[in-house]
A and B are shown apart, each in its own frame.
Chain A
Amino acid sequence: MKKKIGNYFNWLLLIGTTVIVCLLLGIILLDIFSKGIPAVSWNFIHALPREGMTKGGILPAIVGTTLLTFITTIFAVPFGIACAVYLNEYARPSVLTNVIRASIRNLSGIPSIIYGLFGLALFVQAFRLGTSVLSAGLTLGLLSLPYIITTTEEALKRIPNSMREATLALGATQFETIKDVVLLKAMPGILTGVILTLSRAAGETAPILFTGVAFYINGLTVSLNQEFMALPYHLYMLSTQHQSIEQVRPLAYGTAVVLIVLVFFLNTLAFYIRFKQRTQD
């Protein structure tokens, strides 16, 4: 009897903590959405900010974040996948490859502000790219690389060797095997990792702080050497740096809603790809 009560208590404890966590998440979302939804309108999404950002929309921030994520993708995805392919398919196990692998894992634990400072030193100053959307995109790319490498390597590891042997035995070279079969089969896993990484990168503020994000720009960012506005920074700025914080509060909530919806959309996409892969296997 005593044991039964103990079991019941454990169960209650576990379910209780789960409920509390979900409740907290629910409250945050409810708060943001209840205060943010009224501010979101077609005008809010497609108009430029006006009158010291107290009116108008957030189009420059949406364009900025999109462009930024795009640059990050172009830079980080090919490098990340190539690096993972090398580590998993070509590199012979040795002390050196283990050190490389451990370093990559460690890199993903470095605080993002450090990446920001590194980007400032490398891209903005040493490469003379200036504070621009290109510098910031490259910095975010560096931040994303370790995650993309790690998730891609995991996806490649899940491909059984029999798959590789199939094409090798037909006289395909190792490169042809990787290109035609291994990557094809690992693609859903790789894409999931890439999208989750990018959705995280899209919400980062610290790495872009020194490398190109702007408080306010006149018009849209249209070229790579321009500064840009970004959703997470815009949100930060509206809620702490603006001279009339009370007045722009609804806009800040609206921005938060747009950012959450964007990230949520990306995560759902990743979830969907993984789900499709599972039903296929």
Chain B
Amino acid sequence: MEEIKLSAHALNLYFGKKQILKNINIDFPKNEVTSLIGPSGCGKSTLLRCFNRMHDLTPEASLNGTLKLDDLDIYDKNNSVTEIRKRIGMVFQKPNPLPKSIYENMSYALNLHKFPKNEIPQLIELALKESYLWDEVKDELKKPAVKLSGGQQQRLCIARTVVLRPEVILMDEPCSSLDPISTNKIEEMILSLKNNYTIVIVTHNMQQAQRISNKVAFMYLGELIEFDTSKNIFKNPQQELTRNYVEGHFG
């Protein structure tokens, strides 16, 4: 029996009066890659952002249900949101490096969470190596991060998340603005990271979902239609909707 790292139970989310997520129940297994797929507007990014409470600052968003990281209730008022976000990292659709140098992008969160000063350089080097970025930037760590290429920026954003050693990494279409070569590098990275991290990734790319994920969840109009192993979803889906979507009849 696989171990559950992250879960949502009876999750409903509303923007104003409009219901975006309808009674979602899902368990993400530990140290595996789970893909969320579905047509645009089906709520997959919205679901992803529930897990690190990114909707907190959206005034019209309201949600009910239980979300858990191990046994920790993510939305419990007594739990610090910053601590939860440290344990559940997130990478966004568009690379969003801070307006600082490459090194400062990496050290920012480490300083924030009071990591010992003398360990910071090694931690940064390790995370950059894991993100296959070290060789490209090791001589110019002082350079502003925005001067990097789009693909490098996105790898930096992943490295910046990895350096905190979170338990879960949420990725919201991390390759959608990148060229095929950069996409390849990031997929390679995801596969090497999954040994130590639970990864949930939103993607529009069916091939990508097949290449990298252990399990796949198909969502449609705010509902979770089907959740199964990657193989079953793509080769032998149980639902008509899922079959139509993965075969490219709509989307």
Binding site for B on A (CB under 8 A): 92-93, 162-174, 176, 180-181, 184-185
- Of the residues B59, B83, B89, B108, contact of A167 by C-beta under 8 Å: B108
Is the beta-carbon distance between A169 and B99 smaller than 8 angstroms? no
Q: Within 8 Å CB of B82, what residues of A?
A: 171-173
Q: How many residues of B contact A (CB 8 A)?
A: 25
Q: Within 8 Å CB of B132, what residues of A?
A: none
Is the beta-carbon distance between B98 and A166 smaller than 8 angstroms? yes
Q: Within 8 Å CB of A166, what residues of B?
A: 92, 96-98, 157
Binding site for A on B (CB under 8 A): 52, 54, 57, 59, 82-83, 85-86, 89-90, 92, 94, 96-100, 108-109, 112-113, 157, 160-161, 164
Q: Within 8 Å CB of A162, what residues of B?
A: 92, 94, 96
Is the beta-carbon distance between B92 and A168 smaller than 8 angstroms? no
Task: Give min CB distance, B231 to chain A, whole Å.
Answer: 32
With contacts A93-B59, A165-B54 known, is A170 near B109, CB below 8 A?
Answer: yes
A174 to B85 alpha-carbon distance, docked (Å): 13
5 contacts across the A-B interface (CB closer than 8 A):
A93-B59, A163-B96, A166-B98, A166-B157, A169-B161
8 closest residue pairs by CB, A with B? A170-B109, A171-B86, A169-B90, A171-B85, A166-B96, A171-B82, A162-B96, A92-B59
Is the beta-carbon distance between A170 and B161 smaller than 8 angstroms? yes
Q: Within 8 Å CB of A164, what residues of B?
A: 57
A169 to B108 alpha-carbon distance, docked (Å): 12
Closest to B109 in A: A170
Q: Within 8 Å CB of B161, what residues of A?
A: 169-170
With contacts A170-B160, A176-B112 known, is A181 near B98, CB below 8 A?
Answer: yes
Q: Which one of A93, A162, A166, A169 has the greatest number of beta carbons of chain B within 10 Å?
A: A169
Task: Give min CB distance, A236 to chain B, whole Å.
Answer: 45
With contacts A168-B54, A169-B89 known, is A181 near B164, CB below 8 A?
Answer: no
Is the beta-carbon distance between B112 and A172 smaller than 8 angstroms? yes
Is the beta-carbon distance between B89 and A170 smaller than 8 angstroms? yes
Is the beta-carbon distance between B54 and A181 smaller than 8 angstroms? no
A167 to B160 alpha-carbon distance, docked (Å): 10
Is the beta-carbon distance between B99 and A168 smaller than 8 angstroms? no
